[in-house]
Amino acid sequence: MRIGFIGLGVQGLPLALNLVSEGYELYGFDVSDEPLATLREAGGIAAGSVGEIGRNCGLVFICVATDAQVLDVVAGEGGLLATAATGLVVVNHSTVSAETTFLLVERVAAAGARLVDAPVSGGARGAEQRTMSFIAGGDDDVLDLCEPLFRASGPTVLRTGAAGTATIAKLAHQVTIIGNILAMAEGMRLGTAAGLPPQTVKAVIAGGLARSFIAETWGDIKMAPHAIPIYAKDLENSLKLADRFGVEMPGVEVMRQQLESIVP
């Protein structure tokens, strides 16, 4: 089966390269020439358009930045649904709003295709080191098809139920991780302002009950500036989902206000 991959950014490119290295025939597309050249050098096929991927591939991964980009890739003029044969499997790695995901579920099903929402966790480093976690929603038979492909980039595949549920789970995850970043930033700020060396504060937090991946890697992983607009979008989408279900999330409001000053 030919595989397509649309969106070869800091996270998408290593995910695509991992699939190529496992021997899959992969067509990739991006609006930038540089990642296409890298893909071609690794043995992948650089496509000239989304439509070319739709015409040639039976399963297509999407890893782009915004809801609008996902909708355009899937349902826009010359997009996947306009060019692909019936039975296409669309796997969306992009973290988008729940509203967008459920709209995609409807449009993809109406076109005789199948959707898997499979947001990822681990960032570019996780993709490069093949330690990625995949949160996947969809029919079990399609997830059975996708799971070996996911495992080219990481050992953890968490199934959440029907298509759309993984997006909800990922937003809950993002709220938690950004809250963790806020807590770590303020803990470090307090300890160092009182005269403790940063490495001492980090060691205490990472070695105690507050330990976490964020604590353990604080100072080693640089997320900003590319992470800030992504996290801002995730928090906004989380608030929209919370409003839909009548859930109060005052902490998310604080995270949104402090975002630019806490992301390392």
Q: Are residues 45 and 154 in the same domain?
A: yes
What single DSSP character describes residue 9?
A: S
Q: Can you give the pLDDT at residue 222?
A: 84
Domain C-terminal end among 163, 187, 216: 163
Q: Are residues 123 and 233 in the same domain?
A: no
- Count of helices and strands (H, E) across the chain: 13, 9
Please, which residues bridge with residue 28 across strands? 5, 46
Selection from 150, 159, 83, 89 nearest residue 122 by Cα: 150
pLDDT in tens, the chain (264 residues): 899 999 999 999 999 999 999 999 999 999 999 999 999 999 999 999 999 999 999 999 999 999 999 999 999 999 999 999 999 999 999 999 999 999 999 999 999 999 999 999 998 989 999 999 999 999 999 999 999 999 999 999 999 999 999 999 999 999 999 999 999 999 999 999 999 999 999 999 999 999 999 999 999 988 878 889 999 999 999 999 999 999 999 999 999 999 999 999
Q: Are residues 174 and 253 in the same domain?
A: yes
Total number of domains constituting the chain: 2
Q: Can you give the pLDDT at residue 179?
A: 98
Q: Are residues 158 and 181 in the same domain?
A: no
Check: CB of residue 22 under 8 Å from CB of residue 134: no
Alpha carbon distance, N-terminus to C-terminus of the chain: 41
What single DSSP character describes residue 83?
A: H
44's tokens: 């992948």
Q: The pTM is what?
A: 0.93
Q: Can you give the pLDDT at residue 225?
A: 86
φ and ψ of 92, to 5 deg: -100, 110
Check: CB of residue 176 under 8 Å from CB of residue 231: no
Range of the domain at 229: 168-262
Selection from 23, 53, 22 nearest residue 36 by Cα: 53
Domain C-terminal end among 117, 134, 163: 163
Q: Can you give the pLDDT at residue 223?
A: 85
241's tokens: 């989902």
What's the helix, strand, coil split of the chain in %, to 5?
55, 15, 30
Give dist(CA 147, CA 134) in Å, integer.
9
3-state secondary structure of 22: coil
Check: CB of residue 46 under 8 Å from CB of residue 36: yes
Q: Are residues 114 and 153 in the same domain?
A: yes
Q: Can you give the pLDDT at residue 224?
A: 78
CATH number of the structural domain spanning residue 246: 1.10.1040.10
Cα of 109 vs its chain's centroid, Å:
22
Domain C-terminal end among 146, 163, 180: 163
Q: Are residues 20 and 151 in the same domain?
A: yes
